Structure 1
Amino acid sequence: MKQRIELEAACELVADKLKSFSNETVKLVNSSGRVLAEDVRAPMHQPPFDRSPLDGFAVRAEDTTGASTETPVSLKIVSKLYAGDSPVKKIGPGEAARIMTGAPIPEGADSVIRQERTDWNDEEVEIKATLKPGQNYAPAGEDIKQGELLCEKGTLLRSPHLGVLASMGLEEVLVLPEPEVSVLTTGSELQEVGQELKPGKIYNSNNYMISTRLKECGAKVINSQVAVDEKDILRDRLAELIPGSDFLVTTGGVSVGEKDLILEVLEEMGAEIFFWKLAIKPGTPVVCGRLDDTIIFGLSGNPAACITTFDLLVRPTLIKINGLEKENLRKEKAIFIDDFNKSSSTRRMLRAWVVRTEKGNIVKLSKGNQRPGVLKTTLDCNCFIDIPAGSPPVESGAEVEIFRLPEIYN
């Protein structure tokens, strides 16, 4: 078991320990937010037939030669077509078909005149404009041609993609895996939301924060439980949650106190422990290991420390599997416009808010203090300022490196 390792080494170690995940075939209706595992090409034209883009009459353009308001041309109406109809009557010389938007253009017709340029009764239509072949005519494949690349491998599927794929009649798509994760929040002090708060207790905020964070970065939360700080109960909860989970995220019980029991219980259960403690602050207390095929992340119970190590360690691990790079952190530079008057013997991750300007990123500390047990700073945190170990206090105007969170947190 490694101890107090660097963040980057921890991420690499976990990545090396990941099991192989298989791509999934899912129903198109359930594919929003998933990432395509292969290119998708159009199996047919869209539209699949020549169709009218407006209400009017399908005609042969040559039959409208010389037609105008002053000298209309009269044609015989031989059929009427609505969207969804299948034309059976070919249009011959001197003939027209009444046609509605989206209806297939019948054989023989090569243009459509809008109804506003005509007068008609049940038998005949007067054409008041000369048409060119192909005028007001949407040919098969006008929108999408058969064989055209619709969506590339790695595309994050959203409503426009689903609309296009559905127009091709595709009922299923092959997507990258969706990791299945269980959550265990630990602590004898925890009380569930909705109950009257008892003396010495706090509400279980970590469950809501971590479960939601997991969903935001593309994981499927399959179970969520809470446990008090007692070895037998922790062992029972872990034994229940680990089977069937790709990952287990726990909060609390990973530091050095008498009731910090997660590491001890995992070792007694035979887990392989990859490392204990990260060389960052907040979030030093972290346990990471594996039992059977389940990767376990034991995070701090302190809310700010918990969310910091989740974003820096758990998030990139999940995204390696599901391909949601849009939801990953980005390393950028920014100008610090605040003051942080502490030296940093340990590498720090300061919760902060970054804004893009014409001159580049500017960043300031989140409102509230930077202690690991506070929640308020998570409300206006869209990045972490990475302060290297051994750094002096950070003054306004200094250039800093940041880990920028996805746009959804802006």
Structure 2
Amino acid sequence: MKSVDTHLAEILDAVRPLDPAELDLDQALGAVLAESVASPVALPPFDNSAMDGYAVRAADVQAATGDAPVVLPVAADVAAGEHAPHAVAPGMVTRIMTGAPVPEGADAVVPVEWTDGGTAKVAIRRVPPPGNAIRRSGEDVRAGDVVLGPGAVLGPAQLGILAGVGRRVVRARPRPRVVVLSTGAELVDPGMPLGPGQIWESNSYTLVAAVRQAGGEAFRRSAVGDDPARFLETLHELLGEADAVITSGGISMGAYEPVKEALSPLGTVRFEKIAMQPGMPQGFGLVGDRQVPIFTLPGNPVSSYVSFMLYVRPALAKMRGLPAGPPATVTATTTRALRSPLGKRSFLRGVLEGERGAPTVAPVHGQGSHQLAALAGANALIVVPEDVAEVPEGTPVEVIPL
């Protein structure tokens, strides 16, 4: 059997990053930047008020107290977006709104809460330090500063700064479009009544969610039965819209394995046994004129999800232009003894606690590859190496947080 590490290495060697494209900011969430973006202007572009209040010369209000406020006339109002120049003369104040340009001559803003809120004249009850409540030009970004570089994942804050420096379109690697397809004549869509020998199809929901969580754009297709010709026809229909395809089921050693029967003759998809539990049967290859990666995962729900975490998620990272490799692990102490078959790397479902202190991990009850409820109660995979059959309670182990 092939090792887990070798199988992942071969997948990552075959997968290529998606080509960058010009993306509007409205479509760029989750994309990975493929250029450096510099600000053409300083941010803020001008000195402006951080609060609603009064622009003053600080020296004019040095005697202000709660019992003996300094009363000064209000010469003008300045609103956000104001274009006309304003100045504060000695012994005068200007009422100012948040974001409005600070008038010439003013060196502090008195928050309205420190005053009586007057409009013709104002009583100031506290002394502002020089520079109080003033956002200085360039204190966030100077003109010419690079605000984001290649490899930045575009989340809400990153999209905000791109808009803030005036960019509407950026060059970035888009989220991979991934089509998820389950196989099996026994599968019925959730919400439909079950007949004899049928089960509700769950793998595609798990895998679509996992793709989206991994930064991809996922599309679910209705499950196909056990007819290889029908599977191949459906696959060809999907290849034009996909950067990758994930299937579940139909790759084991028995009869009625439509994925294996349909793809084996192509010669571009390999079906192998991997030294792991759960998820021993695996398939991977490139299909179609565009050489679209296809991940053919086992049909058992837990096997399918574990396989995604080990192989598909790293591949999606590479397609996005991000560093890709085995899932990150943390070390935790097992609170119970563990057992694992020699010769296979086990990924036991567990509950990880105390990640910031002294982490511990406990295996969940129900380690079968079909036990989806046990997986739903886990938040980690406990890794037991191939050459270890028993792990005593209290032993440090490597854990993959989910």
Same fold flag (TM > 0.5): yes
Within the candidate set 281, 290, 294, 1:285 is matched to: 281
In the alignment, the residues of structure 1 paired with residue 193 and residue 116 of structure 2 have an alpha-carbon distance, to the nearest angstrom, of: 75
Which deviates more from structure 2 when the two are superposed, residues 175-184 or residues 282-291?
175-184
Structure 1's 207 and 133: CA in aligned 2 closer, same or farther, altered over 3 A?
closer
Q: Secondary structure at the match of 1:338?
A: coil
Residues 340 and 394 in structure 1, CA contact (< 8 A), matched pair in contact too: yes
Work out whether 1:356 is the aligned partner of 2:354: yes
Identical columns (%): 31
Q: Secondary structure at the match of 1:243?
A: helix
The match for 1:394 is 391
Superposition map of 1:206-355 within 5 A: 206-268=203-265, 270-292=266-288, 293-323=291-321, 329-341=327-339, 343-355=341-353
- Using the TM superposition, give the Cα deviation of residue 20 of structure 1 relative to its aligned residue in structure 2, in angstroms: 4.7
Q: Secondary structure at the match of 1:265?
A: helix
- Using the TM superposition, give the Cα deviation of residue 223 of structure 1 relative to its aligned residue in structure 2, in angstroms: 4.7
Deviation per CA, 1:156-204: give whole Å up to 9, x if none.
Answer: 3333333343333332333333111111100010011111111110000
In the alignment, the residues of structure 2 paired with residue 339 and residue 259 of structure 1 have an alpha-carbon distance, to the nearest angstrom, of: 38
RMSD of aligned alpha carbons: 3.1
In the alignment, the residues of structure 1 paired with residue 117 and residue 396 of structure 2 have an alpha-carbon distance, to the nearest angstrom, of: 73
Residues 54 and 136 in structure 1, CA contact (< 8 A), matched pair in contact too: yes
Residues 217 and 324 in structure 1, CA contact (< 8 A), matched pair in contact too: no
Which deviates more from structure 2 when the two are superposed, residues 124-133 or residues 355-364?
124-133
Residues 188 and 228 in structure 1, CA contact (< 8 A), matched pair in contact too: yes
Work out whether 1:137 is the aligned partner of 2:144: no
In the alignment, the residues of structure 1 paired with residue 32 and residue 389 of structure 2 have an alpha-carbon distance, to the nearest angstrom, of: 43
- Using the TM superposition, give the Cα deviation of residue 120 of structure 1 relative to its aligned residue in structure 2, in angstroms: 5.4
Superposition map of 1:378-389 within 5 A: 378-389=375-386
Q: Secondary structure at the match of 1:330?
A: coil
In the alignment, the residues of structure 2 paired with residue 299 and residue 119 of structure 1 have an alpha-carbon distance, to the nearest angstrom, of: 68
- Using the TM superposition, give the Cα deviation of residue 71 of structure 1 relative to its aligned residue in structure 2, in angstroms: 9.0
Work out whether 1:57 is the aligned partner of 2:54: yes
In the alignment, the residues of structure 2 paired with residue 53 and residue 81 of structure 1 have an alpha-carbon distance, to the nearest angstrom, of: 13
Structure 2, unmatched stretches of 5+, are none
TM-score, normalised via structure 2 length? 0.86
Structure 1, unmatched stretches of 5+, are none
In the alignment, the residues of structure 2 paired with residue 325 and residue 354 of structure 1 have an alpha-carbon distance, to the nearest angstrom, of: 25
Q: Secondary structure at the match of 1:267?
A: helix
Q: Secondary structure at the match of 1:333?
A: strand
Q: Which amino acid aligns with 2:303?
A: A
The match for 2:12 is 15
Deviation per CA, 1:82-107: give whole Å up to 9, x if none.
Answer: 12222334444555433223221223
Structure 1's 280 and 125: CA in aligned 2 closer, same or farther, altered over 3 A?
closer
- Using the TM superposition, give the Cα deviation of residue 265 of structure 1 relative to its aligned residue in structure 2, in angstroms: 0.9
Q: Secondary structure at the match of 1:169?
A: coil
- Using the TM superposition, give the Cα deviation of residue 121 of structure 1 relative to its aligned residue in structure 2, in angstroms: 5.8
Which deviates more from structure 2 when the two are superposed, residues 386-395 or residues 300-309?
386-395
TM-score, normalised via structure 1 length? 0.85
Residues 65 and 130 in structure 1, CA contact (< 8 A), matched pair in contact too: yes
Residues 250 and 299 in structure 1, CA contact (< 8 A), matched pair in contact too: yes
- Using the TM superposition, give the Cα deviation of residue 125 of structure 1 relative to its aligned residue in structure 2, in angstroms: 5.7
Residues 315 and 328 in structure 1, CA contact (< 8 A), matched pair in contact too: no
In the alignment, the residues of structure 1 paired with residue 373 and residue 320 of structure 2 have an alpha-carbon distance, to the nearest angstrom, of: 30
Structure 1's 109 and 16: CA in aligned 2 closer, same or farther, altered over 3 A?
same
In the alignment, the residues of structure 1 paired with residue 348 and residue 25 of structure 2 have an alpha-carbon distance, to the nearest angstrom, of: 41
